[in-house]
Amino acid sequence: MILKTTALQKRLWIIFFIVPALLFVVIFILLPLFFSLYNSFFIWHQLQRGAFAGLANFKKLFFTEPYRERLLNALKHNGIWFCYTMLIQNGLGLLFGYALSKKIAGTAVFKRVFFIPVLFSIVAVGFLWSMYLKNDGLVNSFLNLIGLSSYQRAWLGDEHTALLAVIITNIWRWVGFPSLVFLAAIDSIDQSCLEAAYIDGVSERCLFWRIILPLIVPALTVITVLTVIGSLNVFEQIYIMTDLGGGPDYSTDTIGTLFYRTAFGSVDTGNPEIGIGSAISVVIYVVTLAISMFSMLVGKAKEIRL
């Protein structure tokens, strides 16, 4: 009887801790997703739902201008964001994490320095860097100081540099996160394995590429999936540093800003088009899910081979 009571209590405690999390997921993730999909099947007149339209909103989004052009342009920028973030941010994160794992002088200080920007408000970061990147901002003043005045420009006002400027700002803010994740992954490697490699005369380069990197594949997979999700949900940084129009000339437009602008103020008329906006949100979810699942499967396959 006591054993039965204990088992029942254990189940009740499990339910007690799981149910709030499940409710959170259902209310704030699954229900909005369901209603977005539902709303995408209807014609909307301003904020009033009209007749059932089937896949008409998706057809309009993928095959009618300017929606098709704007969608492809936004997805291209999300792809560029992912590539730069994956290569520069996560590459630097791996480098910093590896360097910190060597217990260099000041490691404890560097850990905090790298992670401090992650704690900053995205609004504050975006506002400050938009000030730094102005014509008379800190960046151009520094270039002038070191004799590189020919490189001065309106970084956020030039369609060739605006997106890159925003991406670099985002990298500066987030590079500390993968740094600490990779540091934790490297520190979790069995030290006897590394010591055996050193005894056998393995070079530092070979040790990193042949032993350490394969053993931290799970961390790489997690960081890759988070990078995919973050790159496809870019909104605040663009909104703060440029505008919802993805200026200049849509050079910083992403699928997140396109969704907001379409759902709450149409590409053409300035009127809300909730049906097409809902279709865009479904596209965001499907693309995010597909790429995330692919990344996890690739990471899992590498783990199995190891």
pLDDT of residue 113: 86
Tokens standing for residue 288: 């995010």
- Domain contains 224: yes
- Domain contains 19: no
pLDDT of residue 270: 67
What are the beta bridge partners of residue 45? 48
pLDDT of residue 185: 93
H or E segment at 205? helix 204-207
- Domain contains 245: yes
Tokens standing for residue 165: 């400027």
pLDDT of residue 137: 87
Rounded distance between C-alpha atoms, residue 196 and residue 192, angstroms: 6
pLDDT of residue 304: 61
Q: What angle do CA 142, 169, 118 make, to 5 degrees?
A: 120
- Domain contains 250: yes
pLDDT of residue 65: 86
- Domain contains 23: no
- Domain contains 97: yes
Let me know: does 262 contact 273? Beta carbons within 8 Å: yes
User: How many distinct structural domains can be found in the chain?
Assistant: 1
- Give the CATH number, domain containing residue 126: 1.10.3720.10
- Domain contains 84: yes
- Domain contains 72: yes
Rounded distance between C-alpha atoms, residue 187 and residue 205, angstroms: 18
Burial of 205 (0-12, 13-18, 19+ CB in 10 A): exposed
Tell me which residue range forms the domain holding 165: 56-305
pLDDT of residue 305: 64
Rounded distance between C-alpha atoms, residue 139 and residue 157, angstroms: 14
Tokens standing for residue 104: 């260099």
Q: Could you read off the pLDDT tens digit of each residue along the chain, which spans 306 residues?
A: 454 557 778 888 888 888 888 898 888 888 888 888 898 999 888 778 888 888 999 999 999 888 899 999 999 999 999 999 999 999 999 999 999 988 888 888 888 888 899 999 898 999 999 999 988 888 999 898 898 888 888 899 889 999 999 999 999 999 999 999 999 999 998 888 888 888 888 888 888 888 888 889 889 999 999 999 999 989 989 999 988 888 888 999 999 999 998 888 755 556 788 899 899 999 999 998 898 888 888 877 766 665
Could you give the count of Cα atoms lying within 13 Å of 151 in the half-sphere of its Cβ?
12
